[in-house]
Amino acid sequence: MADLEIKSVSKSFGSVEVLKDINLKINSGEFVVFVGPSGCGKSTLLRMITGLEAETSGDILIDGKRVNGVDPARRGTAMVFQSYALYPHMTVAENMGFGLKMAGETKAAIRDKVEQAAATLRLEKLLERRPGQLSGGQKQRVAIGRAIVRNPKVFLFDEPLSNLDAELRVQMRAELIELHRRLGTTMIFVTHDQVEAMTLADRIVVMNAGVVQQYGRPLDLYDDPDNRFVGGFIGSPKMNFLEASVAEATPDHVVLDKIAGSDRSLRLPFSGFDRSIKQVAIGIRPEHVSLGAGAADEIPLAVSFAEELGDVTYVHGKLPAGSPVTIRSDKTRYGGKESGNMALDPSGIRLFDPDGRRLRGNGS
Amino acid sequence: MNPTRHLPHYAMILPFAVLFAAFFLYPIVSGFYYSFHDWNAATAPRFVGLANYQSVLSSRDFARAMTNLFNYIVITVPLGIAVAFGLALLVDSFTGAWANFFRSVFFLPVVLPAFLAATIWRWMYAPNFGLVNMVLGWFGVASVNFLNDTGKMLYALIAVDIWVSAGFNMVILLAGLKNIPQDLYEAARLDGASRINQVRYITIPMLSPVLFFVITYGFISALQVFDVPWLLTGSSFTAYGGRRSALLFPVMDMMGRAFGSVHFGEATAYGFILTAIIILVTAAMFALRRWRTPK
Amino acid sequence: MSASAASSTNATTGSAMIADLWTWRILKWVVAICVAIVAVFPIWWMINVVFADPGVPVSINPRLYPTSLHSGLSKIYTILAETEYLRAYFITIAYALLTILGVLFIGSMAAFEFALFEFPGKRVLFGMVMLSLMVPTVVTIIPTYLLVAELGWLNSMQGLVVPGLASAFGLFMLVQFMRSLPMEMIEAARLDGASHFKIYWYIALPLSKNAMVTLAILTFMRTWGNFAWPLIVAPKPEVYTVGQVVGLFNAPYSHQTVDVVMTANLLAVVPPLIFFLIFQRKIVEGIAMSGTKG
**Residue C202 sits at the chain A interface (C-beta within 8 Å):** yes
Task: Find the CB nearest B108 among C39, C143, C162.
Answer: C39
CATH number at residue B62: 1.10.3720.10
Distance from CA of A19 to the nearest CA of C (A): 21
- pLDDT recorded at residue A128: 92
Higher local confidence (pLDDT), A363 or B244:
B244
Print burial letters for A162-200: b (CB count within 10 Å at least 16), e (below 16). Answer: eebeeeebeebbeebeebbeebebbbbbbbbbbebbbeb
At residue C110 the predicted structure's pLDDT band, cuts being 50, 70 and 90, is very high
Among chain C residues, the shortest Cα distance to B124 is held by: C42
> How many alpha carbons lie under 13 Å from residue B228 in its C-beta half-sphere?
26
- pLDDT recorded at residue A364: 44
**Contact across the interface for A83 and C194, Cβ inside 8 Å:** no
State the best of C180, C191, C197, C201 to mutate against chain A, taking most chain A CBs within 10 Å.
C191
Among chain B residues, the shortest Cα distance to C63 is held by: B131
Task: Find the CB nearest A102 among C187, C193, C207.
Answer: C193
Q: Which residues of A touch C (CB under 8 A)?
A: 50, 52, 71-74, 77-79, 81-83, 85-89, 98-99, 102-103, 146, 150
Distance from CA of A286 to the nearest CA of C (A): 41
In this structure, the strands spanning A240-249 and A279-284 are: antiparallel
Residue B287 falls inside a structural domain: yes
Architecture of the CATH domain A4-233: 3-Layer(aba) Sandwich (3.40)
**What distance in Å separates the CA atoms of residue B280 and residue B264, rounded to the nearest whole number?**
24
Mean pLDDT of chain B: 86
* Domain ranges in chain A with CATH number 3.40.50.300: 4-233
Which of B150, B152, B134, B284 lies closest to B223, judged by CA? B284
Residue B36 falls inside a structural domain: no
- pLDDT recorded at residue A324: 87
In this structure, the strands spanning A350-352 and A358-359 are: antiparallel
B272 contacts in chain C (CB < 8 Å)? 139
Higher local confidence (pLDDT), B3 or C2:
B3
SS (H, E, C) chain A: CCCEEEEEEEEEECCEEEEEEEEEEECCCCEEEEECCCCCCHHHHHHHHHCCCCCCEEEEEECCEECCCCCHHHCCEEEECCCCCCCCCCCHHHHHHHHHHHCCCCHHHHHHHHHHHHHHCCCHHHCCCCHHHCCHHHHHHHHHHHHHCCCCCEEEEECCCCCCCHHHHHHHHHHHHHHHHHHCCEEEEEECCHHHHHHHCCEEEEEECCEEEEEECHHHHHHCCCEHHHHHHCCCCCCEEEEEEEEEECCCEEEEECHHHCCCEEEEECCCCCCCCCEEEEEECHHHEEECCCCCCCEEEEEEEEEECCCCEEEEEECCCCCEEEEEECCCCCCCCCEEEEEECHHHCEEECCCCEEECCCCC
B234 contacts in chain C (CB < 8 Å)? 250-252
Residue B116 falls inside a structural domain: yes
Residue C233 has pLDDT above 80, yes or no: yes
Contacts across the A-C interface (CB distance below 8 Å): 53
Mean pLDDT of chain C: 83
**Beta carbons within 10 angstroms of residue C42's beta carbon:** 22
Look at chain C and count its residues.
294
pLDDT digits (tens, 9 = 90+) for B31-64: 888 888 888 877 888 888 888 888 889 988 899 9
State the best of B116, B232, B238 to mutate against chain C, taking most chain C CBs within 10 Å.
B116
Measured in whole angstroms, the distance separating CA B250 from the mean position of its chain's CA atoms is 12
In this structure, the strands spanning A253-257 and A240-249 are: antiparallel
Which residues, at least 6 apart from A357, have a Cβ–Cβ distance to it below 8 Å?
A226, A227, A228
- pLDDT recorded at residue A106: 92
Strand partners, A62: A4, A65
* Domain ranges in chain A with CATH number 2.40.50.140: 240-359
**Contact across the interface for B111 and C139, Cβ inside 8 Å:** no
A87 contacts in chain C (CB < 8 Å)? 185, 188-189, 203
Which of C241, C29, C227 lies closest to B164, judged by CA? C227
Which residues, at least 6 apart from C142, have a Cβ–Cβ distance to it below 8 Å?
B31, B254, B255, B258, B264, B267, B268, B271
pLDDT digits (tens, 9 = 90+) for A158-212: 999 888 888 888 988 998 999 999 989 999 999 999 899 999 999 999 999 999 9
- Amino acid occupying residue C148: V
At residue C2 the predicted structure's pLDDT band, cuts being 50, 70 and 90, is very low
**Contact across the interface for C250 and B168, Cβ inside 8 Å:** no
Which of C148, C157, C153, C165 lies closest to C100, judged by CA? C165
Give Cα separations from A35 to A200, A207, C36 (angstroms). 11, 6, 66
**Contact across the interface for C187 and A81, Cβ inside 8 Å:** yes
C288 contacts in chain B (CB < 8 Å)? 171-172, 174-175
Residue B231 falls inside a structural domain: yes
Print burial letters for C232-262: b (CB count within 10 Å at least 16), e (below 16). Answer: bbbeeeebbbbbbbbbbbbeeeeebebbbbb
**Contact across the interface for C191 and A99, Cβ inside 8 Å:** yes
DSSP string, C23-86: HHHHHHHHHHHHHHHHHHHHHHHHHHHHTS-TTS-TTT---SS---HHHHHHHHHHHHHHSTHH
pLDDT digits (tens, 9 = 90+) for B136-164: 877 877 777 777 777 788 888 999 999 98
Strand partners, A253: A269
A78 contacts in chain C (CB < 8 Å)? 191
Higher local confidence (pLDDT), B57 or C72:
B57
pLDDT digits (tens, 9 = 90+) for C172-216: 889 988 998 999 999 999 999 898 899 999 999 999 988 898 899
Task: Find the CB nearest C191 among A73, A82, A89.
Answer: A73
pLDDT digits (tens, 9 = 90+) for C151-180: 999 999 999 999 999 889 899 889 988 998
CA dihedral C51, C57, C58, C63 (to 10 degrees): -10
DSSP SS3 for C256:
coil
Give Cα separations from B228 to B17, B117, B238 (angstroms). 33, 8, 17
Among chain C residues, the shortest Cα distance to B15 is held by: C106
- pLDDT recorded at residue B293: 66
At residue C5 the predicted structure's pLDDT band, cuts being 50, 70 and 90, is very low
Could you tell me which chains touch chain A, where touching means 3 or more CB pairs under 8 A? C
**Contact across the interface for A85 and C188, Cβ inside 8 Å:** yes
- pLDDT recorded at residue C1: 43
State the best of A81, A90, A113, A156 to mutate against chain C, taking most chain C CBs within 10 Å.
A81
The kind and range of the H/E element at B266 are: helix B264-292
**Contact across the interface for C171 and B41, Cβ inside 8 Å:** no
Higher local confidence (pLDDT), C18 or C204:
C204
DSSP SS3 for B37:
strand
The ipTM assigned to this model is 0.81
- pLDDT recorded at residue B73: 93
Distance from CA of A72 to the nearest CA of C (A): 5
**What distance in Å separates the CA atoms of residue C74 and residue C54, rounded to the nearest whole number?**
12
C192 contacts in chain A (CB < 8 Å)? 73, 98-99, 102, 146, 150
Phi, psi of A176 (to 5 degrees): -65, -40
pLDDT digits (tens, 9 = 90+) for B246-277: 888 999 989 888 888 888 888 889 989 998 99
**Residue C210 sits at the chain A interface (C-beta within 8 Å):** no
Print burial letters for A240-264: b (CB count within 10 Å at least 16), e (below 16). Answer: bbbbbebeebeeeebbbebbbbbeb
Which of C140, A236, A345 lies closest to B254, judged by CA? C140
Q: Provide the edge-to-edge strand list for the sheet that holds A289-291.
A: A289-291, A339-344, A299-308, A313-318, A324-329
Give Cα separations from B242 to A125, B68, B114, B232, B271 (angstroms). 74, 12, 18, 8, 21
Higher local confidence (pLDDT), C17 or B88:
B88
Task: Find the CB nearest B28 among C107, C140, C243.
Answer: C140
**Contact across the interface for B274 and C171, Cβ inside 8 Å:** no
**Contact across the interface for C143 and B175, Cβ inside 8 Å:** no
- pLDDT recorded at residue C292: 60
Sign of the alpha-carbon torsion through A21, A27, A29, A34: negative
Residue C281 has pLDDT above 80, yes or no: no
**Contact across the interface for A81 and C184, Cβ inside 8 Å:** yes
**Residue C116 sits at the chain A interface (C-beta within 8 Å):** no
Which of C88, C51, C82, C66 lies closest to C271, judged by CA? C88
Low-confidence stretches of chain A (pLDDT beneath 70): 1, 294, 331-336, 363-364
The kind and range of the H/E element at B47 are: strand B46-47
**Beta carbons within 10 angstroms of residue C36's beta carbon:** 16
Strand partners, A77: A154
**Contact across the interface for A79 and C190, Cβ inside 8 Å:** no
At residue C254 the predicted structure's pLDDT band, cuts being 50, 70 and 90, is low
CATH of A240-359, one of 2.60.120.20, 3.40.50.450, 1.10.1200.10, 2.40.50.140: 2.40.50.140
At residue B241 the predicted structure's pLDDT band, cuts being 50, 70 and 90, is confident
